[in-house]
Amino acid sequence: MKKLLSAALVAFLALGSAPSALAQADKDIVDVAVEAGAFNTLVAAVKAAGLVDVLKGEGPFTVFAPTDEAFAALPEGTVENLLKPENLDQLVAVLTYHVVPGKVMAADVVNLTEATTVQGSTIEINVKEGMVMIDGAHVVTADVPASNGVIHVIDKVILP
């Protein structure tokens, strides 16, 4: 499943700036997520899906990263079910639905209403009541830099 990433751009403005604990442009996307401490479930899922090397690769990538709380809000047993080896294809689909090729900063997508994910589906981008929404998830922190792209923190797991 190590396809090269191709498609459209995504992201937009969010509330505030990246917490200093996250802002480490000399580290790749995986290392930034690991060190942040708020993405343990996402990192475990990326490892289980065999996508670590891809997300440590040259990129650039834009990742909409759900927090641990976002994963915890899924129906009971969902994460455990996705992590089973027999559900690898489904796990990869969910994770790659959170990734858009290219380094897309918030200010770059002012006029976008959708983007194509690495998974191949289109995600919807809109602003509701001053909040940027990605498929119904709020962008709570935008423009967290990484050496091979950018992370936008979201408060919900989005599903293809």
Q: Report H helices in 9-154.
A: 29-36, 40-48, 52-55, 68-72, 78-82, 88-96
pLDDT profile of the chain (160 residues), mean per 10 = 27 34 72 94 96 93 96 95 95 97 81 89 87 91 94 96
pTM of the model: 0.83
- Beta-bridge partners for 153: 65, 141
Rounded to whole angstroms, the Cα distance separating 79 from 82 reads: 5
Q: Domains in the chain, start-ordered, CATH in brackets?
A: 29-154 (2.30.180.10)
**Which residues have C-beta within 8 Å of that of residue 86, sequence separation ≥ 6?**
none
